[in-house]
Amino acid sequence: MTAESDPCEQLNCTEYEWCGKKHGVYGCFCDEDYHRPNNESFDSSISCSNSSGTMSLSRCQLFEAGFHSSALHLRDDSCKGTLQDGRLVFRFNNDDHLCGTALRSNGTHFIYENIIQGDVDPHRGLISRQRNIQLRFCCVYPLIQALSMDVGINPVESIVRKKLPIGHGHYHVRMIPYQDAGFHYPLASGRIIEMEVDQRLYVEIRTEGVDGRQISTIVDSCWATPVNVASYPVRWDLIHEECPNPADGTVELVANGISTVARFSFKMFTFNNFSSIYLHCQVHLCLLRHNNCAAHCYPGHHNRVARDVSQHAMTGISLGPLTMPLNRKARMVNPSSASGQLASLVTLLVSLLTIKTLV
């Protein structure tokens, strides 16, 4: 006759736990010296990144409250926690392990929500004293981001990383200038790239770290200034209210609001009495579930179709400078009549600018 296995050995209680029995079930109790920073929520900790989240709880605090780790799961009851160093860890992602996670928006953030839940009945007989637990948690990602970029890093792009307090996620927004209509070749051959006035520049704004099946990127407006100040009074509009400026016939909106990548192009120009050009854009994120994210631009009609403002929020992004070499004589082009006019080469310089969040 073989001796029964010790249930405490199977539990692998940590150095700050001790094995015991409660309501007929063995589990790990918290040691008396165990630090309890957040006892009411079982010392919960959440980590969010991209479209995924990790929630962990103290195993011994859960057991002392009468909840065995094997009884708990996410909204999808097949998604149970795993034990790591005395903590019960739950994970979800929006690729292949969604676990009943729901996505919603409150107008300034998009939010992934789920519930750690379960029930325990210690009696299982004639009477019941079943206890239930529901711990709601969420990963909150800002719809509002601000990003500025000069042209010239190899490859030419800029990136903003925004990390909010615990429970809040982050994602990346990039702005990349290209030299070809297929958006295959970024301007990345060095710190100085020369382009001719009236040569077409292709710009891509890409949001990374969000679920492309549910969220799209929208270019709301773009404009150029001769200095690196988005609010500078001397400006030339390229895109307004998600559509090309009808006063500039060179602007082509390639993609806007249909995916996480927005693209447009325009022909290079210079400001009279200035040697540099900076490009600025306001960008939104939009939830695709209502299928109303794509811009609808019609010839002769500048205004876009109105959409529910709760579905998106604004972002700022900048690109520049495009500078005129001092050793070359160039004819400055008035942007209102830039189409079809050719001047000398302008220089495209790239460096990262300061990130500023729009309020």
pTM of the model: 0.60
- Name which of 144-153, 225-234, 240-249, 343-352 the model is least confident about: 343-352
User: In the predicted model, is pLDDT for residue 250 greater than 80?
Assistant: yes
pLDDT greater at residue 29 or residue 130: 29
Q: How confident is the model at residue 342 (pLDDT cuts 50, 70, 90)?
A: very low
Query: What pLDDT is stored for residue 246 in this prediction?
Result: 93
Q: pLDDT-derived band of residue 4, with 50, 70 and 90 as boundaries?
A: low
What pairing do the DSSP bridges indicate for beta strands 261-267 and 200-208? antiparallel
Q: In whole angstroms, give the CA distance from residue 32 to residue 120.
A: 25
Answer whether 53's CB lies under 8 Å from 47's CB.
Answer: yes
pLDDT at 305 over 60: no
Amino acid 9: pLDDT? 85
Residue 337's φ and ψ, nearest 5 degrees, are: -130, 30
Highest mean pLDDT among 36-50, 70-84, 164-178: 70-84
Cis peptide before 155 (omega within 30 of 0): yes
d(CA 8, CA 5): 9
